[in-house]
Amino acid sequence: MATAAQGPLSLLWGWLWSERFWLPENVSWADLEGPADGYGYPHGRHILSVFPLAAGIFFVRLLFER
């Protein structure tokens, strides 16, 4: 049964991550991996810096509200 669903799921996965869906013409995923010197693109792991910052702000707020 798992092999029957594998075809449609792989088709959906391929369509979802295709360059034609997300990127304009003449741009590929490889273009986004390594920008020129002095430039950078955000990565998914950068969102992890939000949690310690939010916790710090929360604790400072608790200190000043009491």
Under a CB-based contact definition with an 8 Å cutoff, are residues 32 and 41 in contact? yes
- Mean of pLDDT values over 3-26: 80
Annotated domain spans of the chain: 8-65
- Mean of pLDDT values over 29-56: 82
pLDDT at 61: 96
Model confidence band, residue 41 (pLDDT cutoffs 50, 70, 90) = confident
pTM beyond cutoff 0.75: no
pLDDT at 16: 82
More confident residue, 58 or 37: 58
Under a CB-based contact definition with an 8 Å cutoff, are residues 19 and 27 in contact? yes
